[in-house]
Amino acid sequence: MLVLTRKSGESINIGDDITLTIVEIKGNSVRLGINAPAKLRIYRKELYEKIKQENLLSSSHSMDEFQKINKVLRSK
């Protein structure tokens, strides 16, 4: 892990397309500004882990279960 020290208002670049700016430091909290291409998805880690968990859960269902769900949705 790379650890950098930055002050409020200072930035770091990740590649050519992503800039992280320290917007504010207050107590134990740091507010980050992220300038990145719109097509890039940016999530908080806990939300990303939840999405990953839900994707794994949904991929474990059988095709029969998906067909049943599809049938119910089409009947509405």
Q: Assess whether 51 and 73 both reside in one domain.
A: yes
**Which pair of structure tokens corresponds to residue 44?**
């908080």
Q: Assess whether 33 and 48 both reside in one domain.
A: no
Q: Assess whether 59 and 75 both reside in one domain.
A: yes
> Whole-angstrom Cα distance, residue 56 to residue 32?
30
Question: Could you give phi then psi for residue 55, rounded to 5 degrees?
Answer: -65, -40
Domain interval for residue 51: 43-76
pTM higher than the cut 0.75: no
Q: Tell me if 36 sits within 8 A of 30, measured CB to CB.
A: no
Count of structural domains, the chain: 2
Q: Assess whether 49 and 34 both reside in one domain.
A: no
pLDDT tens string 8-53: 999 999 999 999 999 999 999 999 999 999 999 999 999 999 999 9
Tell me, what's the pLDDT at 28?
94
Question: Could you give phi then psi for residue 70, rounded to 5 degrees?
Answer: -60, -45
Q: Assess whether 50 and 25 both reside in one domain.
A: no
